[in-house]
Amino acid sequence: MMSVLGEDLIFPFILPAWLCMRRVTAQMREVRRLVPKSEFMRRAMISGTVFFDHSSPGFAFIQVWWTPEDVAGFPAASHLSRLPQGEWKVSEFEEWCWENYLHPVRGKALFVPVLCLGHGACRRLERRFPGAKRIHVWSALIRGSRLSSNAAGQRS
């Protein structure tokens, strides 16, 4: 069962987000990386890290992921810069999080079938578990920069 949290929703933006959510939900169910919303809400109040994945450039479609690990406190990630490397860039830490936790094949975080539409909906969801670690990852920018790099490499 998928949930949609949103504000001032305009139908043309809901349908693509919902279709994407269905696709990701099916993929993650197949590889056993899906956690029901009720279980997520219970577990996130106690421990772990919640990822808010800004997966769509220009729109506030935010996917939610969870892991029982304290990702922010990992020694392996402590040396990574947490500051973006310029305008429309992501930090090394965000890239590390995406590669290790959110990547559709190599990641290990569990997908939560909840789609936040709008930053206000995301903030309301964050308030439900104030004790959990929260990390925002801009995967749309990560995937976009990798596509650009691959295209540039093919032209050379």
What are 26's two structure tokens? 């099916």
Residue 93, pLDDT score = 83
Distance CA 11, CA 22 (A): 17
Which of the residue ranges 11-15, 42-46, 62-66 would you say has the lowest mean pLDDT?
11-15
Average the pLDDT over 49-68 and give the result.
Answer: 82
Nearest residue to 117 (alpha-carbon basis) of 26, 48, 30, 17? 17
- b/e map 111-148, b = 16+ CB within 10 Å: bbbbbbbbeebbeebbeebeebbebebbbbbbeeeeee
The mean of the pLDDT values for the chain is 76
Distance CA 27, CA 37 (A): 17
What are 104's two structure tokens? 């559709």
Average the pLDDT over 33-52 and give the result.
Answer: 89
Residue 12, pLDDT score = 59
Bigger pLDDT: 141 or 104? 104
Distance of CA 145 to the CA centre of its chain: 17
Average the pLDDT over 72-80 and give the result.
Answer: 64
Confidence class of residue 45 from pLDDT cuts 50, 70 and 90? confident
Domain ranges within the chain, ordered by starting residue = 3-155
